[in-house]
Structure 1
Amino acid sequence: MKKIIYKRTNIQNRTIVLWYVLIFFSFSNCNDFLEIDDPIGQIPHEEVFMNETTATASITSLYGKLRDEVLINGNSSGMGVLMGLYADELDYYGAQGDFYENLFFHNVIASDPTVESIWAKAYNLVYMSNAALEGLENSDQFSMDFKNKLRGEALFVRGLVHFYMVNLFGDIPYPKTTDFIMNSQIHKIPVNLVYENILEDLNEAKSLLGDEYISGERIRANRWVVSALLARVYLYMGRWQDAEQESSNIIDNTTLFSLEIDLNEVFLKESRSTIFQLKPGNSGSNTEEAAIYIFDSPPPPFVALSPNLIEAMESNDLRKTEWIGEVSDGTQSWYYANKYIQQFNTGTSMEYSIVFRLAEQYLIRSEARANQNNIVGAQQDLNVIRNRAGLDNTLAITQEELQQAIVKERRFELFTEQGHRWFDIRRFGIASQILEPIKPGWSVTDILFPIPESELLINPNLAPQNSGY
């Protein structure tokens, strides 16, 4: 059976002393985020947080992990592909019997190596974030302003990882230490407490970070990036007023952010609608999303957009013509996401992988307003997105109609971006309604992934297993 192959590392098994971890993540997967002259392994752990360059490396490497391995990466192990297949967004055309086919048909099991990898890599990044936080806390070498910025970024990453994990697995641990004994015996906590911990991390991060983008490019967290995640978290929690406030903070900042009128410019690295993006690892490289989704000859080699997505879009929707490509053999057509178009190295990178962008904030605010019965405000925000796509104003006039219209608009605006479609149909409680007719293996318990079997064997405190597995 063909599967994604990863060398697995459990945080419970990490008995390596802190300096090995710090040296590893200070220099691996950073590439263009920073330039370090010191060879790997030659900086003792106590010196990592005595030097601004290596301390910064410990933080920028967290973004490198997100870009290359963890949850929101643009390759085949990222949320865009995995949850696109799990929902009704992508169809599968790859090898029979592998994890992707099992995912597509909802035959996921608790012993699958890819499920184990998602869990292990996410908590490895949490461990790295905690190591950085502890290193900063114990260092007296930096100004408070410098330490605050790096601490804010580490807290943001920790909150971001847990946001995705709680939506994939439900009740999960929230480790805040590198202590091996504590982590090896850690308990799951309920979803509502996970969210409270996420909010605690993000609100502290927001208080520590400034308004400016640290590097000039939009590739490291600042206060606006944290607000973007907070708006999403509050939306998922049903805290409508808070979600509206956070999204309004960003939308109203017209000095930094504005919607690109030309849809072809939305995903360029200089786009003013971008709030946060992940920079490619090598000079001149572009996004992995383009390489994954685009194909130029039939049949699709791996995945293609579901025909139902294309058929559900209005005929004059510009996103249908600008963000979707078509390949035909003369009798049948297949469709691919064409948001990112640069598949190869272009000498100078043209596209970075976008994590947060302004259009989502308009849709968040529209939904938050609809749930507060602010019909006019919700319509206005929804129409901003519709009008840019060449569509007329929404005809939805009631709260229920608006909620349905927002789900549809999110489907057409955010397809193949970090699993939005799956998380939307899950939180709106319509996953069974949508997937049962088209997914023979669908079960209501598929709303959550299984806790990896290997993790339960190592740490019984993670029991019970999620229902259905």
Structure 2
Amino acid sequence: MKHLKHSTYIIKSKNGLSSMRALIFKCLALFLFGIGFIGCSDFVEVDAPKNVLISETVFNDPATVESALANIYFKMREEGMVSGNLGLTTSLGIYSDELDYFGFDSSYSQFYNHNVIAGNNTILGWWSHAYNIIYSANDIIKGVDNSDALTAEEKDNFKGQALFVRAYFHSLLANIYGDIPYIKTTDYRENNEVSRLPLTDVYENIITDLMDSVDLLEVMDGNSGERVLPGQDVAKALLARMYLYTEQWELAASMATDLIDTYSLETDINHVFLKESPETIWQLKPGDSPRNTQEANQLVIQFIPGQIYALSDTFLEAFEAGDLRHANWVESISNTDNTVTLHFAHKYKALFTETESLEYSILFRLAEQYLIRAEARAYLGNIPGAQEDINTIRNRAGLANNSASTVNDLMEAILQERQVELFTEQGHRWFDLKRTGNASEVLSAIKPNWQSTDVLFPIPETELETNPNLLPQNGGY
């Protein structure tokens, strides 16, 4: 694996309790009880158990394993880093150059002003939530492996989903914290004394889990269904992203090509984020119809005053004249006196509907794969191929072909295209600034408190206190 451009990151840990040991016990209790949590069945259309089950019983019946997995996706949708109230979309949007923040939450104000401290509640919540999910995934892997009641096909599918979830959350943690423990066990004694792995080793573990997941998961029909469960293509989508992050260009291009050959771009840019969009690879279904996405509720400004987030002027300047993404994915609102006008992300438009959900939270979509392949092709010297991919995305947005013909010019064009295509989607902009080494250049001009060490978030202080193996603290904190 090649040397990464971004610096080595160090991890943080914390849960809402006092120690990793306490977290493990809590996670187990939540997992065993949570499989009966109301709302999970709405997500995957599987009836959840009505009573508390012991772990061994869960893995004697495929329906209860499905409910256990449904509980994981429920947590992803409602509670944390991916789509919930602590989601990366808004927090990393205000940490980078996408969003302005008008709220009064001290944790988020620290993000916006770049004066985050190790006791920040959001930092703590991310760590706790992610490892809670990872623990549940590991419990499913262990239970499925030890089950004598499940068929081989059922085992493969359940284990493949759990391996993907484990890899996905470790990938988010690594991007936020850097060097992190890679947890593969439910043994609380081991988890209570975990140490961090170097980032390169973390990525190797992620890729290994994803490759195993691809081998185990079912091949989903990319042109039908709601795509709310992770199949083989979802694992491939994350694999392509990981190969990009680790500069394995040929593998990144190859994996992205598999998906580009399977899915198709939505031709109407105003329909990209509807639940039936053909370019969606994976999305989280809202719990109770006609409920729509967390993203619309968080990002759409209904009143001034009353707004929490708005698109920054710096971000708005990135759009070219005539870009249909600006016309369709950005909206504005003024106060009653017309003295203040703010712009907001309008990719998700449905706040309230009366009969059915119109939009689900999209986590992977085909446009990203085109941009992954464009970047990989540029570094491989395939200039015409890179141009073709970037222009596919540009043409859909109503823009003329980009004529960049050198690797440096192409990379500048690709990163700019990623900025305006993937804005307010799970922190892509921040991760791109960090992985390319451009964070200081871009953010030092607009964030007065910016320091180069801000490319990492601090390790939650309570986790350092309870597990000295996670020391030292990240630089700058």
SS of the residue 2:289 aligns to: coil
Distance 1:320 1:216, change over 3 A: closer
Structure 1 counterpart of 2:249, from 214, 236, 240? 240
Who is 1:218 aligned against?
227
Q: Is contact 1:34-1:57 (8 Å) kept?
A: no
Who is 1:125 aligned against?
133
Q: Is contact 1:94-1:101 (8 Å) kept?
A: yes
Structure 1 counterpart of 2:384, from 359, 364, 376? 376
Say whether residues 1:36 and 2:47 are aligned partners: yes
Partners of 2:259 and 2:369 in 1: how far apart?
8
Letter in 2 for 1:322: N
Alignment of 1:181-260 (within 5 A): 181-212=189-220, 216-253=225-262, 257-260=263-266
Q: CA deviation at 1:345?
A: 4.1
Q: Is contact 1:325-1:338 (8 Å) kept?
A: yes
Distance 1:324 1:38, change over 3 A: same
Q: Is contact 1:173-1:187 (8 Å) kept?
A: yes
Q: CA deviation at 1:24?
A: 2.5
Distance 1:18 1:367, change over 3 A: closer
Partners of 1:373 and 1:276 in 2: how far apart?
31
SS of the residue 1:312 aligns to: coil
Who is 1:3 aligned against?
none
TM-score, normalization by structure 2 = 0.93
Say whether residues 1:177 and 2:188 are aligned partners: no
Say whether residues 1:428 and 2:436 are aligned partners: yes
TM-score, normalization by structure 1 = 0.94
Q: Is contact 1:363-1:382 (8 Å) kept?
A: yes
Alignment of 1:59-458 (within 5 A): 59-73=69-83, 75-95=84-104, 98-212=106-220, 216-253=225-262, 257-299=263-305, 301-329=307-335, 330-458=338-466
SS of the residue 1:276 aligns to: strand
Q: Is contact 1:18-1:45 (8 Å) kept?
A: no
Partners of 2:219 and 2:294 in 1: how far apart?
29
Letter in 1 for 2:51: I
Partners of 1:377 and 1:38 in 2: how far apart?
51
Q: Is contact 1:366-1:379 (8 Å) kept?
A: yes
Partners of 1:300 and 1:422 in 2: how far apart?
26
- Deviations 1:225-272, CA, capped at 9 Å, x for gaps: 11100000000001100000000000012xxx1111111110010110
Partners of 2:107 and 2:245 in 1: how far apart?
28
Higher relative contact order (CA 8 A, sep 6+): 2
SS of the residue 1:304 aligns to: strand
Alignment of 1:15-30 (within 5 A): 16=25, 20-28=29-37, 30=40
SS of the residue 1:275 aligns to: strand
Partners of 1:198 and 1:208 in 2: how far apart?
15
Partners of 1:80 and 1:466 in 2: how far apart?
23
Q: Is contact 2:20-2:467 (8 Å) kept?
A: no
Partners of 1:12 and 1:224 in 2: how far apart?
35
Partners of 2:31 and 2:273 in 1: how far apart?
33
Q: CA deviation at 1:298?
A: 2.2
Q: CA deviation at 1:332?
A: 3.4
Letter in 1 for 2:92: M
Percent identity, aligned pairs only?
Answer: 45
Partners of 1:216 and 1:385 in 2: how far apart?
24
Q: CA deviation at 1:65?
A: 1.5
Partners of 1:76 and 1:304 in 2: how far apart?
17
Q: Is contact 1:187-1:462 (8 Å) kept?
A: yes
RMSD: 1.8
Most deviating of 29-38 and 205-214 = 29-38
Q: Is contact 1:70-1:121 (8 Å) kept?
A: yes
Partners of 1:58 and 1:173 in 2: how far apart?
24
Distance 1:380 1:15, change over 3 A: closer
Q: CA deviation at 1:68?
A: 1.2
Partners of 1:420 and 1:234 in 2: how far apart?
15
* Paired positions, count: 458
Distance 1:272 1:126, change over 3 A: same
Letter in 2 for 1:114: T
Distance 1:280 1:10, change over 3 A: farther
Q: CA deviation at 1:299?
A: 3.8
Distance 1:66 1:38, change over 3 A: closer
SS of the residue 2:35 aligns to: helix
